[in-house]
Amino acid sequence: MKKSTARLRTEHGKKYLLQMSKHFAHKIDVTYSETHADCPFPNGTATMDADDSGITFGVSAATDELVTQAKSIIESHIVKFAFREKLESLEWDT
């Protein structure tokens, strides 16, 4: 299993976690609380963990290509939801 993580430092991490979870729940079965979410995408799994200083994203999948696809889903959505942060991309650990 291939994995990658990214952290966005923001005071709005919990807000973004809830927004993204509710958005993804329109298409997939998302399990979420105020501080944690599990998102089983068709191409891999994503997790989100939020606290008062930010939100951490984790993705895992069978291949590097599928990890890249899952990262793209997360990144494109957080860039839209966090537009006030002037975020252009996330820095992933791989």
Model's pTM, two decimal places?
A: 0.94
Residue 4 has pLDDT above 80, yes or no: yes
- Predicted pLDDT at 43: 87
Residue 24 has pLDDT above 90, yes or no: yes
Question: In this structure, is residue 94 part of a structural domain?
Answer: no
Would you call 7 helix, strand, or coil by DSSP? strand
Domain that holds residue 74: 2-85
For 40-54, how does the pLDDT look when each residue is reduced to its tens digit (9 = 90+)?
999 899 999 999 999
Question: In this structure, is residue 93 part of a structural domain?
Answer: no
Question: In this structure, is residue 91 part of a structural domain?
Answer: no
Question: In this structure, is residue 59 part of a structural domain?
Answer: yes
Tally of domains in the chain:
1
Q: What is the CATH number of the domain that holds 24?
A: 3.30.310.50
Farthest CA pair distance, the chain = 34
Terminal-residue alpha carbon distance, the chain: 13
Question: In this structure, is residue 92 part of a structural domain?
Answer: no
Q: Say if residues 16 and 22 touch (Cβ distance below 8 Å).
A: no
Q: Say if residues 61 and 8 touch (Cβ distance below 8 Å).
A: no
Distance CA 78, CA 83 (A): 8
Question: In this structure, is residue 90 part of a structural domain?
Answer: no
